[in-house]
A = this chain, B = another copy of it.
Amino acid sequence: MRQSRLFTKTRREAPRDELAKNAQLLIRAGYVHKEMAGVYSYLPLGRRVLENIEKVIRREMDAISGQEIRMATLHPSEPWKQSGGWDNVDVLFKIESRTEKEYALGQSEEEIVTPIAGEYAPSYKDLPLALYQIGQKYRDELRAKSGVLRGREFTMKDMYSFHTSQEDFDAYYEVVKEAYIKIFAECGLVAKVTEASGGSFSEKISYEFMVLTDAGEDTIVYCETCNYCSNVEVTNAKEGDPCPKDGSALKQGIASEVGNVFDLGQKYPKALGFTYKDEEGNDQYPIMGCYGMGITRLMGVVVEALADEKGIVWPESIAPFALHLVNAMPNDSEAVQYADELYDYLTARGTAVLYDDRDVRAGEKFADSDLLGIPNRLVVGKEALAGNSLELVNRATGEVERYTREELFQRYGT
């Protein structure tokens, strides 16, 4: 995309009412627009990042037999009353309509997915079954905070699985855990898996995927020599205490939850009447699991964890563009022709290029480029015009590689 046609622009100043680094940078770089506390719109660059995160998630959920659906977000009140959520989930938005019907806005979808699964899985032969969706969720938070990390509206991947036995659920949980860790790794994050309390979803234990970042809302204790990690909500351990697994001194840190898993047991199938016939023809309730992953939150956590003093740093897999092509001499017709040709060649071969063709000073272009955080920057300037190789600057490391045009075409021209 030509940057001259991108309607957003960068800002020097962060808005005063945003304390979180993620929101400050995302707003300054034109990725998001704040509508009110906890609610953001996603502008073209932000939308591209979300779509790329969603692509990675879809690929991994499909690979573990997840079937993607799109569930309603405007919910009838009946299943929420049947499950008890209507009175017990404090963040549930309730709506009274003109017709005096009451609705809920989806903050999770157990009440919707359980009857769907129940309709199509009458037999043990239809299980296990894993359904997921990517869509908006709503929470009536008393205080929205941490920028896009804790919103009143946010985008989420939520998957639900149904099993004939606890063993089958436990085995599937391990499969999902591996998929989650793969997704976070592809987003440039190292996630730790903790035990946490189940909140209003379940009385059973739940698991959270946590990334250490100062913007986080949770405090965790973890062991650096084994995989022990726990949310302080569910443990008495603190910094320096011995690890219950291997005795090493525990570390304590602020972390952000980037995913969670709930073992829901038979709560929702029982409340909503989902039974299947087992091999003997008897009615049984399935065991149900829920697997969440906040997509807008993940975007914010990546900003928090990877940004530097110059701006955002995206990992290649989710960056809005793979390459930032910067024409440092926009008033030189030879440079324009050179850069135009590069842009046309690379985009024709499927490389996602943001092409800074704007008529502004090179210094401003470089500052904007650092702020936007596209993984690699390619500069067209005097050197390129003199026939020398081009500089490809890695945003994260600052490392410079030199490429001839032909080598560049080889790297990106597939």
A-side residues, CB < 8 A to B, are 5-9, 30, 33, 35-36, 39-44, 46-47, 50, 65, 67-76, 90, 93-95, 97-99, 103, 105, 112, 115-117, 119-121, 126, 129, 131, 135-136, 138, 140, 142, 152-153, 155
Q: Could you say how many copies of this chain the assembly holds?
A: 2
Residues of B within 8 Å of A68, CB to CB, are 44, 47
Q: Is the CB of B75 within 8 A of A35?
A: yes
Q: Which residue of B lies closest to A40 (CB)?
A: B72
Q: Is the CB of B98 within 8 A of A142?
A: yes
Q: Is the CB of A153 within 8 A of B98?
A: no
Residues of B within 8 Å of A94, CB to CB, are 95
Residues of B within 8 Å of A47, CB to CB, are 68-70
Identify the interface centre among A5, A41, A98: most chain B CB within 10 Å of its CB: A41
Given A70-B50, A116-B43: A98 and B105 interface contact (C-beta under 8 Å): no
Q: Which residue of B lies closest to A155 (CB)?
A: B70
Q: Which residue of B lies closest to A144 (CB)?
A: B99
Residues of B within 8 Å of A115, CB to CB, are 33
Residues of B within 8 Å of A131, CB to CB, are 7
Q: Is the CB of A99 within 8 A of B142?
A: yes
Residues of B within 8 Å of A152, CB to CB, are 74
Nearest 7 CB-CB pairs, A to B? A42-B70, A36-B76, A74-B153, A41-B71, A35-B72, A39-B72, A97-B140
Distance in angstroms between the alpha carbons of A117 and B33 in the assembled complex: 10
Q: Is the CB of A112 within 8 A of B41?
A: yes
Q: Is the CB of A105 within 8 A of B112?
A: no
Interface of A is mostly: mixed
Q: Is the CB of A67 within 8 A of B44?
A: yes
The listed residue (B42, B70, B74, B142) touching A138 by CB distance below 8 A is: B74
Given A7-B129, A47-B68, A93-B95: A136 and B73 interface contact (C-beta under 8 Å): yes
Known: A42-B70, A43-B69, A98-B142. 9 other contacts (CB 8 A): A7-B67, A30-B120, A33-B115, A40-B72, A46-B69, A73-B136, A98-B140, A105-B105, A135-B136
Residues of B within 8 Å of A129, CB to CB, are 7
Residues of B within 8 Å of A126, CB to CB, are 7
Residues of B within 8 Å of A41, CB to CB, are 69-72, 112, 116
Identify the interface centre among A5, A33, A74, A152: most chain B CB within 10 Å of its CB: A74
Distance in angstroms between the alpha carbons of A73 and B126 in the assembled complex: 36
Identify the interface centre among A40, A70, A126, A152: most chain B CB within 10 Å of its CB: A70
CB distance from A52 to the nearest CB of B (A): 13
CB distance from A62 to the nearest CB of B (A): 10
Q: Is the CB of B142 within 8 A of A73?
A: no
Residues of B within 8 Å of A98, CB to CB, are 90, 140, 142
The listed residue (B6, B72, B116) touching A153 by CB distance below 8 A is: B72
Residues of B within 8 Å of A135, CB to CB, are 136
Given A67-B44, A93-B95: A7 and B120 interface contact (C-beta under 8 Å): yes
Q: Is the CB of B72 within 8 A of A44?
A: no
Distance in angstroms between the alpha carbons of A117 and B41 in the assembled complex: 12
A-B contact list, 25 entries, CB within 8 Å: A5-B65, A7-B117, A7-B121, A7-B126, A8-B120, A9-B120, A35-B75, A35-B76, A36-B76, A41-B71, A42-B70, A42-B71, A43-B69, A43-B116, A44-B67, A44-B68, A44-B69, A46-B69, A47-B70, A72-B153, A74-B105, A93-B95, A97-B140, A105-B105, A136-B136
Residues of B within 8 Å of A74, CB to CB, are 39, 105, 138, 152-153
Distance in angstroms between the alpha carbons of A68 and B7 in the assembled complex: 11
